[in-house]
């Protein structure tokens, strides 16, 4: 699999989190319950809810792994499997984190790319292509030691003036616009538009914190926002959706007929890799560098909406 990703085996160092194989290869045999760990124990459960690695095993295994990594000083650590992810980053959930570059907690300053364990691939062979894809990402990340993310600004609380500003500064002349809707109980709650990888505008219509649940102050303001959306959806700029059939059915209920539906990222991915998952999160783990820090930009200027490491 390393060879399939273009990584020579001779350039890779292998290490194990644990110095010995657990009994019957069951990690729970090395675990204790929370009541049995000291107050200074900072690591989360390693195997299922409430299964903490025995403190003696923890204090033996992790310092050795830390010293090895400090000696090797790699540009990237590929954490293969949930135990490796837990040891390096103090989180679990390999399906949630695989394919995303994370900062190491065991050795601050190192970056970690979680992926599946090879033993899992032997049991679930269809996931081999995912592991190879993660190795290809690893080959790219090996070229530099720092975590690099695409800078993005997401406008999440626009005024009507902000809609016009975004139209003028980012939408005019755009070659294509990505569109996505969110719904709740058969109602569109917001619509997002992205003309490029660095800028996104979210047009909200529902605010559950208000008595009338409307984001806009007056019906006239909401009508103007809907007209702005219609002009964009039914305008000359080609549109891209993810699972667009879902979005289109809701837009049709509101009387919208997008005229330039160019591509559907889910269907394009499925045409290339029909054996793979098709969710937006999975596609993001394969084709983007999302999962790290980005900024949310509130056009009204409130710092509450400017966050990093989201």
For the chain, the residue count is: 310
Specify if 147 maps to a domain. Answer: no
Q: Which among 106, 141, 176 is the end of a domain?
A: 141
Specify if 276 maps to a domain. Answer: yes
Q: Which of 256, 251, 214, 254 is nearest to 235 (CA)?
A: 256
Say how many domains are in the chain.
2
pLDDT recorded at residue 300: 46
44 in Cβ contact with 86 (< 8 Å): yes
Clarify whether residues 94 and 205 are in a common domain. no
pLDDT recorded at residue 289: 75
157 in Cβ contact with 300 (< 8 Å): yes
239's tokens = 């549109």
**Distance between alpha carbon 177 and the CA centroid of its chain, in Å?**
21
Which residue in this structure is represented by tokens 């679990």?
92
Give the DSSP H/E element, type plus range, for residue 161.
Answer: helix 160-166
pLDDT recorded at residue 291: 52
pLDDT recorded at residue 132: 94
Clarify whether residues 159 and 258 are in a common domain. yes
Clarify whether residues 168 and 296 are in a common domain. yes
Specify if 148 maps to a domain. Answer: no
87's tokens = 């040891």
CATH code of residue 189: 3.30.420.10
Clarify whether residues 188 and 61 are in a common domain. no
Specify if 197 maps to a domain. Answer: yes
pLDDT recorded at residue 297: 45
Grouped pLDDT means (10 residues each) for the chain, 310 residues: 91 91 87 91 86 92 95 96 95 92 95 95 93 94 90 92 96 95 93 94 94 94 97 96 95 93 95 90 84 44 36
83 in Cβ contact with 27 (< 8 Å): yes
Q: Where are the beta strands (DSSP E) in the chain?
A: 31-32, 52-53, 77-80, 102-103, 111-115, 153-155, 177-184, 187-196, 199-204, 239-241, 261-264, 295-297
In angstroms, the CA 47 to CA 16 distance is: 16
Clarify whether residues 77 and 126 are in a common domain. yes
Phi/psi at 4 (nearest 5 deg)? -65, -25
Please count the helices (runs of H) and the strands (runs of E) in the chain.
10, 12
Specify if 215 maps to a domain. Answer: yes
Maximum CA extent, the chain: 69
Domain that holds residue 275: 153-305
């Amino acid at each position: 699999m390393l060879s399939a990703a273009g990584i020579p085996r001779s350039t890779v160092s292998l290490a194990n989190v644990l110095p010995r194989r657990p009994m019957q290869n069951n990690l729970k045999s090395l675990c204790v319950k929370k009541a049995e760990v000291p107050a200074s124990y900072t690591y989360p459960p390693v195997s299922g809810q409430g299964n903490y690695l025995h403190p003696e095993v923890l204090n033996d295994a992790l310092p050795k792994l830390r010293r090895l990594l400090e000696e090797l000083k790699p540009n990237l650590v590929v954490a293969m499997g949930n135990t490796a992810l837990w040891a390096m980053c103090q989180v679990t959930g390999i399906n949630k984190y695989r394919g995303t570059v994370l900062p190491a907690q065991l050795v601050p300053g190192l970056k970690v790319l979680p992926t599946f364990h090879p033993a899992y691939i032997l049991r679930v062979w269809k996931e081999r292509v995912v592991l190879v894809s993660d190795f290809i990402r690893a080959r790219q990340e090996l070229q530099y030691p720092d975590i690099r993310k695409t800078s993005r600004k997401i406008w999440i609380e626009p005024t009507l003036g902000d809609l016009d500003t975004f139209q003028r500064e980012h939408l005019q002349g755009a070659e294509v616009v990505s569109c996505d809707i969110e719904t709740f109980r058969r109602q569109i709650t917001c619509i997002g538009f992205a003309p490029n990888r660095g800028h996104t505008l979210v047009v909200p219509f529902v605010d559950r914190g208000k008595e009338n649940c409307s984001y806009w102050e007056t019906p006239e303001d909401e009508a103007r926002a809907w007209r702005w959306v219609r002009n964009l959806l039914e305008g000359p700029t080609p549109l891209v959706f993810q699972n667009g059939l879902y979005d289109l059915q809701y837009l049709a209920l509101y009387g919208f007929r997008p005229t330039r539906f160019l591509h559907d990222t889910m269907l394009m991915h499925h045409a290339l890799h029909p054996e793979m998952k098709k969710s937006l999160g999975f596609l993001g783990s394969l084709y983007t560098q999302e999962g790290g820090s980005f900024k949310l930009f509130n056009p009204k200027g409130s710092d509450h909406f400017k966050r990093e490491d989201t």
